[in-house]
Structure 1
Amino acid sequence: MDPNQTHDTYEVEAATRLSRLGAALVDGLVLAPPVIALAILVPMALMGGRVASMLVILALSLLFLLVLLITQIVLLVKHGQTVGKRALGIRMITSDGEIPSIWRVFFLRWLPFAVVATVVQLVLKVQGIGSIIHLMDVVFIFQPTRRCLHDLFADTHVIKA
């Protein structure tokens, strides 16, 4: 299939691999502050061993999940773009040309790969082995349609906006 596809009444051009990488890097920068905060504060809280410290860890973890939810899932469902995709001028659509639903974004695109990676990690008990699942996912971008495995699974396309 050609990465430049015709959808009913309009033509779309697949996003470049480089623009998708750039968008992922920007999204990573958006998530960096809460991750850095957790990396600093969690060890401090654990060394203190107090209930208050554990509540701080819980609050920071919930904040991180909220940031992840807003920057990734909500923005994709509302606009077909994360902060990174918007900055790089790309967006996600379904094969029908629609902005993907929460079902596609969360339950088909994200959750299966997170669950499989976690299960593989827990079962094999080899540090970092779950990352191979994510690597297998993104390596699919080198096929002619420029779609990762999660795109194929959720029937989504990342296109130039």
Structure 2
Amino acid sequence: MNSSEIYQAPEAELKESQSENCELASLSRRFWATVIDKIIFLGVITIPWLLLDWLGVDNSKFQDEHYISVLMLFLYFILNLYLLIVGGQTIGKKFLKIAIVRSEDGEKQNIFIILIFRMLLFWIGSLIINFLFVVDSLFIFGSGRRCLHDLAASTKVINLKK
């Protein structure tokens, strides 16, 4: 390095912000992704009991008849957690090719932020304050198409490139 290069600005590769290249998912895609997730959620709870009934298994043999539902919910949660970690998607979002990303730069959001702010806080909050789910959902009609849980977690839902 010679003395004239001392005052030269350091070179760094500038990464183009992906946030500008991200197209927000439409209201209908987000709605149908949620519907798909809820149908699967309800199926996970009820199908094991319907199968046991159809197979003629005596449900009274179970000490607590909710063990199967709790196990299935746990497996459903693990599958969704895996999909969220890998691609920022739930089953419904994966099916409709949309994903959760950080609102600032369009990159994957930290899984703990998603779990705490997008899921846990609002699931528990909705159980305690019934209208929180409605208020949360109504925020999607704002200009940024972000629900309250998106704002809390600094996320947005985008269309994936096909």
Question: Residue 140 of structure 1 aligns to a residue in which SS?
Answer: helix
Give the unaligned 5+ runs of structure 2: 1-15, 52-57
**Which position in structure 2 is the counterpart of 1:66?**
75
The answer to which structure has the higher strand fraction is: 1
Query: Which structure 1 residue ranges, 4+ long, deviate > 3 Å from structure 2?
Result: 37-41
**Which position in structure 1 is the counterpart of 2:23?**
13
The whole-number CA distance in structure 1 between the counterparts of 2:68 and 2:48 is: 10
**Which position in structure 1 is the counterpart of 2:98?**
90
**Which position in structure 2 is the counterpart of 1:143?**
142
Deviation of 1:21 (Å): 0.5
What is the root-mean-square deviation in Å for CA atoms of aligned residues? 2.4
TM alignment of 1:27-66, pairs within 5 A: 27-37=37-47, 52-66=61-75
Tell me which amino acid in the other structure corresponds to 1:27: D
TM-score (norm 1): 0.73
TM alignment of 1:99-114, pairs within 5 A: 99-114=108-123
Deviation of 1:13 (Å): 1.0
**Which position in structure 2 is the counterpart of 1:45?**
none
- CA change 1:35–1:150 in 2 (3 A) is same
Structure number with bigger Rg: 2
Say if 2:83 and 2:89, in contact at 8 Å, map to a contact too: yes
The answer to which structure has the higher helix fraction is: 1
TM-score (norm 2): 0.73
Question: Residue 27 of structure 1 aligns to a residue in which SS?
Answer: helix
Tell me which amino acid in the other structure corresponds to 1:87: F
Deviation of 1:67 (Å): 0.8
Deviation of 1:35 (Å): 2.0
In terms of mean alpha carbon deviation, does 27-36 or 106-115 score higher? 27-36
Tell me which amino acid in the other structure corresponds to 1:116: G
Query: For residues 8-52 of structure 1, what are the alpha-carbon distances to aligned partners after superposition, in whole Å with 9 as ceiling and x for unaligned?
Result: 2551111100010011112223223222236769xxxxxx995x4
Give the unaligned 5+ runs of structure 1: 1-6, 42-47, 121-129
Deviation of 1:61 (Å): 1.1
Deviation of 1:108 (Å): 1.1
The whole-number CA distance in structure 2 between the counterparts of 1:115 and 1:30 is: 20
Say if 1:109 and 1:153, in contact at 8 Å, map to a contact too: yes
Say if 1:94 and 1:157, in contact at 8 Å, map to a contact too: yes
TM alignment of 1:118-133, pairs within 5 A: 118-120=127-129, 130=130, 132-133=131-132
